[in-house]
Chains A and B, each alone.
Chain A
Amino acid sequence: MTKRDLIEEVAQQYPRFSRREAEVMVNAVFDSMTEALAKGERIEIRGFGSFMVKQRTAREGRNPRTGAIVSVAAKRVPLFKVGKELRLRVDGQTLPDGFLDDDDETEVAEEHGE
């Protein structure tokens, strides 16, 4: 699924909005999330997961092909932690009756950049 498909599905679900309006709204959602992360803010979407920004210190890395030492500058990286509800659904588990996502038992999906 791509962003285009998502826009299409939103437009179909809300016939009172034009495709263009659906596009504006979908873009606005991801733009406002990007802006929050750029400010270093944490985003928490109940049932889905949370996004945060983590500082990585400068380090010495190696070019894996040549073995040459290169310095990797300090940077901030975005991380996503999947929420409990989505984690269970992705794994094909059924949610218990009266399930309430408190997002306290999440696993970190770290991405260390290049």
Chain B
Amino acid sequence: MTKADIVENIYEKVGFSKKEATDVVESIFELLKGHLQQGEKVKISGFGNFIINAKRPRKGRNPQTGEEIIISGRRVLSFKPSPVLKKSINPGELS
């Protein structure tokens, strides 16, 4: 599934023009990216949370040469699926 397929689904479901559906889907992902770039946590109820974690610098090794290197500190994005999403992809499961 790509953005184009999402647009197609929205267009069929809500009946706005395809141009409008395309613009809105594009805007939704741009808005999400903008907030995440600011280091903000994004919570989409029923889907999941996008969380920014700060990683401290750590020692690593170049697996090819065995040379020890320092991996710099960085901010990374992780996704924590909502229980609702987990349930949707595991149908027929108790609890």
* A109-B76 contact, Cβ under 8 Å, with A29-B6, A34-B85: yes
Is the pair A41, B1 in contact by a Cβ cutoff of 8 Å? yes
Q: Does B58 sit at the interface, judged by CB under 8 A?
A: no
State the CA gap A92–B31 with chains docked (Å). 17
Q: Is the CB of B1 within 8 A of A33?
A: yes
Interface of A is mostly: mixed
B28 on interface, CB distance cutoff 8 Å: yes
Interchain CB contact under 8 A, B76 and A77: no
Question: What number of A-B contacts does a CB cutoff of 8 Å give?
Answer: 151
| A75 and B33 form a contact (CB under 8 A) | no
In the complex, A66 has a CB within 8 A of chain B = no
B95 to chain A, nearest CB (A): 10
Q: Are A32 and B6 in contact (CB under 8 A)?
A: yes
Roughly how many angstroms separate A92 CA and B76 CA in the complex, as a whole number?
Answer: 10
Are A2 and B33 neighbours in the complex by a CB distance under 8 Å?
no
CB distance from A74 to the nearest CB of B (A): 9
